[in-house]
Chain A
Amino acid sequence: MFETLITLSLVLISLSILGTLYRLFWGPSMPDRVIAVDSVGINIIGLVAIVSVMLNTQAFLEVILLIGILGFIGTISFAKFLERGEVIERDRNR
C-alpha cells in the first residue's frame, strides 16, 4: 500500500514536470517560461523528498535545501534581468 502510494506520487510529480515543459516551450512570453522553470524546481523538491522517503535515507535533505535556494536565486535573477536588463549592476561610484 505504502509502496504503491509512493510510486503513484512519484509518477504524478513526474507528469506534472512534463506538463510544465509545455509552458516552457510554448509559453507565449518570457515570464511564462521563468515561472515554468521555477515550478520545475519546486516539483523537483517534492520529487527528492518522496525519493528520500522511498529510499529511507536522510542523505538528500541538503539537495532539497539547495534546490530551494537555487530556485529562489534563479527566479529572482531572471526577474531582475527581465526588469532591468542586467543581473549585476555596476557600482556607479567607482
Chain B
Amino acid sequence: MAWLQLAILSPFLLAIFVPFLYKYVRQIHTGWFVLILPLVLFTYLVQFLPTVSRGESIQHTIEWIPSLGINFTAYVDGLGLLFGLLITGIGSLVVLYSIYYLSKEKEALNSFYVYLLMFMGAMLGVVLSDNLMVLYVFWELTSLASFLLIAYWYQREKSRYGAQKSMLITVFGGFAMFAGFILLFLMTGTYSIREIITQVATISTHELFIPAMLLILLGAFTKSAQFPFHIWLPDAMEAPTPVSAYLHSATMVKAGIYLVARLSPIFAGQAEWFWLVAGFGIVTLFWGSFSAVKQTDLKSILAFSTISQLGLIMCLLGLGSAAVHFGYDKETALYTTAVLAAVFHLINHATFKGALFMVVGIVDHETGTRDIRKLGGLMSLMPITFTLAIIGTFSMAGLPPFNGFLSKELFFTGVLNASQLNLFEMQTWGMLFPVLAWVASVFTFIYSMVLVFKTFTGKYQPEKLDKKPHEAPIGMLIPPIILASLVVIFGIFPNLLSYSLIEPAMASIIPSVLGPEQQFYVNIYHWHGLTTELYMTIGVIALGTILYLSLSKWSGIYNWFPKKLALNHFYDHGLISMERVANKITRFHMTGLIRDYLVYIFAFLIIVIGGGLFTLNAFTFDSSTTAPIGIYEVILALIMVVAAVAVPFAQSRITAILSVGIVGFMLAMFFVVFRAPDLALTQLIVETVSVALFLLCFYHLPKLKKEISPVPFRATNFMISLGVGLVMMLVAFSAIGNRLFTPISEYFLEASYTEAGGRNVVNVILVDFRGFDTMLEGLVLGIAALGVYSLIKLRLARREDLENQ
C-alpha cells in the first residue's frame, strides 16, 4: 500500500484506538493523541507542494473491485492538494481548540474524536480520490460523520432535529449524485475522473449528459448548502463549536464546491452548467447574506454567512467555466479571473470563517450565551478575542488590508467581466450578476459589523450573562490566532499562494484552457488603480455603514416576509404531510382483511398474466393434438361440475363439504379413466381423509354465532373468480397447442426396467429417477405432522394464565 492511501485511511485506523486511549489514559485529554495525526498528515501533504506547483500530479492505485472498474486511486493535483491542506491544517487547529473547548470530565470525548477522525479520513478520501465510486463512498461517510457530530449532544431535541435534517438533505443529494456518477459510467465506461475527462469531446452531445449534470449538481448543491437546500446548515449549528468551525465552515460544506470544481473539466463550457452553477450561486449569495442580518444568534449569523460565501464561490466557478470557450492568452485572462477568485476566496473563507467560529465559541464558552441581544461591551474584558473578531469580520466584509478585500475585488472583477460576455445570452441577463453581487456585499458588510460591534462594543450587561466573562485560556486562543495571522499574511502577501497553490488548482479546474507548457498568470495585488471594482467596494462600505447605523429603523422589513413561504416551513410541513399521506395510503390498502389481499393478488394475476398474454397475442388454440372425447367422460365431467357449482350455493356447510368430497372422488375416477392407478389410489385416500378433517372442523365450530347461511354474493368476487378461471382456462388451452419439444417420458418408459429394475414406471420415477423430490415431500409431511401435534399440545397462553392465577 502506498503512503498516500495509508494517509487517507490513517484517521480511520487511529479512530479504532481512540476509545482505548480514552478509557486507559484518563489523566491526559484524548485530544492530544489525536492532534498528532493531522499535524503529521499536514507536513506529509506539504511535501507535495513543489511537485504540484510544477504542474505535475501524483497517482497511486490499489485494486479494490477491479472486475467492476472500482479501484482505490489516490490522485494528488493542485485542487486535491489545496483541499487536503485545508482539511489537515484546519483539522489540527480544530483538534487543538477542542482540547480546551470540551471538558475532559463532562464530555464523552471518545465518541467525539472517533467521529471527528472518521470525518477527517472521509473528507481526505473525497478530495484525493480519482475513482467516482470511491469518492461516493467517502462522500456518504462525511454525511454520516456530520450526522453523528451534529447530534453529539444527543440529549437535546434540537441537536437531533438538526442532525436528522442535515442527514435527510445531504443523503438525498448524495443519492442523486450517485445516480449521476452511474450515468457518467454508462457514457464513458470508466469510473476514473481522469479517463472521463479524456472522453469529454465524445460525451458532451450524449443524451445522458444533461441528466448526469443535473443529478451531480443536485448532490453538490445539497452538500454545499446552496439555495434552496441551505436550510440544514443553520440547524447544524447545534453541534459543538469545533465541529461547526471544521465541518460547517471550512471543509464539509466545501465538498460540493470541490465536486463542482473537480468535474468542471467535464461539464464546463455547457450553457446549462454555466447558468445553473452561477445562477444558484448568486441567488444563494444574496439570500444567505440577506437572511444573516436578521439573526440574533452568533452561530446562526455565521451559518448564513457561510451559505452566502459558498454561494459566492459557486457563482465564481460557474462564471469561470465560460473561460473554456476562449482558450488562453493575455487578453482573455479576464475570464479566468473568476476561477482565480473562487480558489482564492475558498482559502480565505476557510481561514477567516474558522477563526470567527472559534471566536464565537470562546464568547459562548466564557459568557454562557451566543445571543447578541444579551452580549455587549466585551471589548475590554476579552481584548485578544476582540482583535481576532475584528480581523475575521473585516476580512469577511471585504475591507483592506485583509485577504477578504482581495478576493472581494477579484469577485467584482469576475462578475463585471462575466456581465460583458457575449455568450449564453449574457447580453440580456448579465447585468444581474454585478447588481446582485453588490447588494449581497452590502448585506455582508452589515452582518459582519453586527457580529463584531454588537458583541464587543456597546453596553456591558453582566446581569444577563450566566458566567462572569474573562479572557479565554491561551490554548483556546492559539488556533484562532494562527488563522487570523494567516488572514493578515495572505492579505498583505497574497502572492505567497499564487503559484504554489492557486495556479495548480486553477489548472485542475479548467485544464483545457491551457496549452502545453502554459501557466495561468496569477498576480493578486491591492492597488489596481481607480477601477470600477474599487468604486464598488467604496460604495459597499458607505452604504453598509449607513444601513448598519440605521439598522433598528429598517430591520422591520424582515417581518414582512411571510412565515408560510419560508423554506423551513416547507421542509417541516413536507415531512409531516409525507408521513400523513404515507399513513393514509397504508391504511387504505392494508385493511387487515385476508379477503382484500386475495382480491389484490388475484386481480394482479388476471391483469399481469391475462393482460400480458393478451397483448402478446399468445392465446391460440390448436386442436390437432387433442384426443377424442368419450360420452362417459362427458358425464363424469358433468357430475364434477355439478358438485363443484353446488359448493358456493350450498345452504349448509355439511353439504358443501360432501360436495367437495364428490369432486375429489370424481377426480379419482378421471385418474382411472386416464389410466393412472397410483394416482387414483392416492387421491381416494387423501380425499377421504380430508373430508373427514373438514367434518372435524365443522363439528368444532363454536356454538355462538353459528352461521348456517348461504355465502353472500359480491359482484367483485364474482368477477375476479370468473376472471381467474377464464385466464387459467385460456392459458391451459393455449399451452396444449404450443408443445415445443417431445416429452422426456419416452425415456422413462424405456429405462424403467432396464436401468432401475422396476415395471411400475410411476413408482420408479418417484423413488429412483427423481427420488430427491419424494424425500423432501416426506419431509413436508413430517413437518406438517409435527406442526399439528405442537399446535394441539403446546398451549403457552393457557399455561401463562394458569401461572398468573
Chain A interface (Cβ within 8 Å of chain B)? 7, 10-11, 14-15, 17-18, 21, 24-25, 30, 33, 37, 40-41, 44, 47-48, 51, 55, 57, 59-60, 62-63, 66-67, 70, 73-74, 77, 81, 87
Report how far A73 CA is from B688 CA in the complex, Å: 10
Query: Does B662 sit at the interface, judged by CB under 8 A?
Result: yes
| A48 and B654 contact, CB distance less than 8 A | no
- For residue B635, which residues in chain A have a CB less than 8 angstroms away from its CB? 11, 14-15, 18
Q: Residue-by-residue, is B678-716 near A (CB-CB < 8 Å gives 1, otherwise 0)?
A: 001100110010011001000100000000000000000
Q: A10-B632, A59-B677, A62-B681 are in contact. Are A44 and B669 (CB under 8 A)?
A: yes
Look across to chain A and name the residue whose beta carbon is closest to the beta carbon of B630: A7
Closest to A86 in B: B699
State how many angstroms separate the Cβ of B702 from the closest Cβ of chain A. Answer: 16
For the complex with contacts A14-B632, A40-B665, A47-B672, 18 further pairs of A-B residues with Cβ separation under 8 Å are: A10-B631, A11-B631, A14-B635, A14-B639, A18-B635, A18-B638, A21-B642, A24-B658, A25-B650, A33-B655, A41-B665, A44-B665, A48-B669, A63-B672, A63-B681, A63-B684, A81-B695, A87-B692
> With A and B bound together, what is the CA distance between A17 and B662 in angstroms?
10
- What is the minimal beta-carbon distance from A67 to any residue of chain B, in angstroms? 6
Asked if residues A51 and B672 are in contact (CB atoms below 8 Å), the reply is: yes
Chain B residues with CB below 8 A from A40, complex form: 662, 665
Whether the Cβ atoms of B643 and A21 lie closer than 8 Å is yes
For B680, the chain A residues whose CB sits under 8 A away are 48, 60, 63
Chain A proximity mask over B61-77: 1 for CB below 8 Å, otherwise 0: 00000000000000000
Which residue of chain B has its CB nearest to the CB of A57?
B675
The reply on B200 being an interface residue by CB < 8 A is no
- Kindly state whether residue B636 has any CB partner on chain A within 8 Å: yes
Contact of B673 among A18, A41, A51 (CB under 8 A): A51
Closest CB of chain B to A63's CB: distance in Å?
Answer: 5
**Chain B residues with CB below 8 A from A74, complex form:** 688, 691-692
23 contacts between A and B (CB under 8 A): A7-B631, A7-B632, A11-B632, A11-B635, A14-B636, A14-B638, A15-B635, A18-B642, A21-B639, A21-B662, A25-B655, A33-B654, A37-B658, A59-B677, A60-B672, A60-B677, A63-B672, A63-B680, A63-B684, A66-B684, A66-B685, A70-B684, A77-B692
Nearest neighbor of A6 in chain B, beta-carbon distance: B632
Chain B residues near A66 (CB-CB < 8 A): 681, 684-685
Q: Are A47 and B685 in contact (CB under 8 A)?
A: no
A77→B638 CA distance, assembly (Å): 29
Main secondary structure of the interface of B (DSSP, over half): helix
Q: Which of B630, B668, B680 has the most CB of A within 10 A?
A: B680
User: How far, in angstroms, from A21 to B661 measured CA to CA in the complex?
Assistant: 12
Does residue B646 face the partner (Cβ distance < 8 Å to A)? yes
- Given the complex, which residues of A lie within 8 Å of B643, measured CB to CB? 21
Majority secondary structure, A binding face: helix
Which chain A residues border B681 with CB–CB below 8 Å? 62-63, 66
Q: Which residue of A lies closest to B680 (CB)?
A: A63
Q: How far is the CB of A90 from chain B (nearest CB, A)?
A: 14
In the complex, how many angstroms separate the beta carbon of B31 from the nearest chain A beta carbon?
77
A68–B343 Cα distance when bound, in Å, is 97
- Interface assignment of B659: CB less than 8 Å from any CB of chain A: yes
Bound state CA distance, A14 and B633, in angstroms?
9
C-alpha gap A44/B8 in the complex (Å): 83
In the bound complex, residues from chain B placing their C-beta under 8 Å from that of A17 are: 639
In the bound complex, CA of A21 to CA of B691 (Å) = 17
| Residues in chain B near residue A81, CB distance under 8 A | 695, 699
- Among A17, A24, A55, the most chain B Cβ lie within 10 Å of the Cβ of A17
The 8 Å CB contact of A24, one of B632, B636, B659, B669, is B659
Q: How far is the CA of A63 from the CA of B673 in the complex (A)?
A: 12
**Least distance between A35 CB and chain B CB atoms (Å):** 12
Residues A70 and B685 in contact, CB atoms below 8 Å apart = yes
Chain B residue nearest in CB terms to A88: B696
Bound-state Cα–Cα, A81 to B698, Å:
12
Measured in the bound complex, the distance between the Cα atoms of B669 and A10 in whole Å is 12
C-alpha gap A15/B646 in the complex (Å): 17
In the complex, which residue of chain B has the Cβ closest to the Cβ of A50?
Answer: B632
Within 8 Å CB of B675, what residues of A? Answer: 55, 57, 59
CA distance A74 to B662 in the complex (A): 13
Q: Which residue of A lies closest to B676 (CB)?
A: A59
A60 to B680, CA, bound (A): 9
Q: Looking at the assembled complex, report how far the CB atom of B638 sits from the nearest CB atom of chain A, in whole angstroms.
A: 7
Tell me which residues across on chain B come within 8 A of A47, comparing CB atoms.
669, 672
B659: chain A residues within 8 A (beta carbon): 24-25
8 closest A-B pairs by beta carbon, nearest first, are A14-B635, A10-B632, A59-B677, A70-B688, A63-B680, A48-B672, A60-B677, A14-B632
List chain B residues, Cβ under 8 A from A41. Answer: 665
List residues of chain B with CB within 8 A of the CB of A25.
646, 650, 655, 659
> Which residues of the other chain, B, contact A60 by a CB distance below 8 angstroms?
672, 677, 680
Which residues of chain B from 639 to 654 have any CB-CB distance to chain A below 8 Å in the complex? Answer: 639, 642-643, 646, 650, 654
Residues in A with CB closer than 8 Å to B655 are 24-25, 33
In the bound assembly, the distance between CA atoms of A18 and B631 in angstroms comes to: 14
Once the chains bind, are A63 and B677 in contact (CB under 8 Å)? yes
Residues on the A chain within 8 Å of B654, using CB? 30, 33
Q: Report the minimum CB–CB distance from B800 to chain A (whole Å).
A: 26
Q: How far is the CA of A37 from the CA of B654 in the complex (A)?
A: 12
Nearest-Cβ distance from residue A27 to partner chain B, whole angstroms: 9
State the Cβ distance, A53 to closest chain B Cβ, in Å.
12
Across the two chains, which residue of chain A brings its CB closest to B671? A63
User: Which A residue sits closest to B691, measured CB to CB?
Assistant: A74
Residue of A nearest to B661 (CB): A37
Closest to A30 in B: B654
Distance of B662 from chain A, by nearest CB (Å): 6
Q: With the chains together, A26 CA to B643 CA distance in Å?
A: 13
CA of A63 to CA of B688 in the docked complex: distance in angstroms?
14
**A15 and B699 alpha carbons, distance in the complex (Å):** 32
Point out the residues of chain B lying under 8 angstroms from A67, CB to CB. 684
Q: Which of A18, A24, A44, A62 contacts B677 (CB 8 A)?
A: A62
- Give B733 Cβ to nearest chain A Cβ, in Å: 25
CA distance A25 to B684 in the complex (A): 21
* CA distance in complex: A33, B699 (Å): 17
Q: Which residues of B contact A57 (CB under 8 A)?
A: 675
List the A side residues contacting B685 at CB < 8 Å. Answer: 66, 70
Say yes or no: A18 contacts B688, CB within 8 Å: no
Q: How long is the Cα–Cα vector from A24 to B663 in the complex, in angstroms?
A: 13
CA distance A73 to B691 in the complex (A): 13
What is the bound-complex CA distance between A74 and B658, given in angstroms?
Answer: 12
Of chain A, the residue at the smallest CB distance from B635 is A14
Task: Say how far A33's CB is from chain B's closest CB, in angstroms.
Answer: 6
Complex Cα spacing A45 to B118, Å? 81
User: Are A33 and B692 in touch, CB under 8 angstroms?
Assistant: no
Closest chain B residue to A33, Cβ basis? B658
> Interface code B181-200, partner A: CB below 8 Å = 1, 0 otherwise?
00000000000000000000
Residue of A nearest to B655 (CB): A25
Q: Point out the residues of chain B lying under 8 angstroms from A55, CB to CB.
A: 675
**Which residue on chain A has the smallest CB distance to residue B650?**
A25
Set of chain B residues within 8 Å of A51, measured between Cβ atoms: 672-673
| Docked CA distance A60–B643 (Å) | 24
Which of B749-771 touch A at CB < 8 Å? none
Chain B residues, Cβ within 8 Å of A87: 692
Alpha-carbon distance between A40 and B646 when the two chains are bound, in angstroms: 16
- What is the CA–CA distance of A63 and B699 in the complex, to the nearest angstrom? 30
Interface membership of chain B positions 601-643, coded 1 if the CB is closer than 8 angstroms to chain A and 0 otherwise? 0000000000000000000000000000011100110110011
